[in-house]
Amino acid sequence: MTDFGELYKKYAPDVYRFALYLSGEKSEAEDITSETFVRAWTSPEAIRVATVKAYLFTIARNLYRHSWRKKSRNVALNDEMRDPAASPEARAGASAELRAVFAALQQLPEEDRAALLMRANEGLSYEEISQALGLSLASVKVKIHRARLVLLKVRDA
């Protein structure tokens, strides 16, 4: 894919959804999506066509992690702080089960959450996820399995 507009049209919704699930905030997901494509566009390296989606998700995840680290340095955390997952849920008017699953998803470690989302929502192979996260194939499979078990407990509760 050499046409950047075509690349954007094809992958922007997936990158946005991934960023929204990671961040839990619509505005932050929009910023991450925009910045992901800016970085892909200005990258001196060519995008490997076989792993375009994983490449974009890697950029998005790194942008999320960078913004999270920046926020954690600037904001004092306390017990009264509202769960960031509640905002998109409230806007969508989702059911109680969906809210519980989304909250459980936010409680997963970021790396586990990213692996699960890449597999379940985006359909990436374990190998692509392994490359995107810089983990071994076995580690990716274990993280996804454990994350699924946590979400099953919420669903069954």
Q: What CA–CA distance (Å, rounded) separates 68 from 152?
A: 27
In CATH, which superfamily holds the domain spanning 4-156?
A: PhyR, sigma-like (SL) domain (1.20.140.160)
Cα 8–chain centre separation:
17
Instruction: Note down pLDDT in tens along the chain; length 157 residues.
Output: 457 788 889 999 999 999 998 888 899 999 999 999 998 888 877 776 568 888 899 899 999 988 877 766 655 656 666 665 555 545 554 567 777 777 888 888 989 989 988 998 888 999 999 999 999 999 999 999 999 998 888 777 6
User: What contacts 100, CB < 8 A, 6 or more positions away?
Assistant: 154, 155, 157
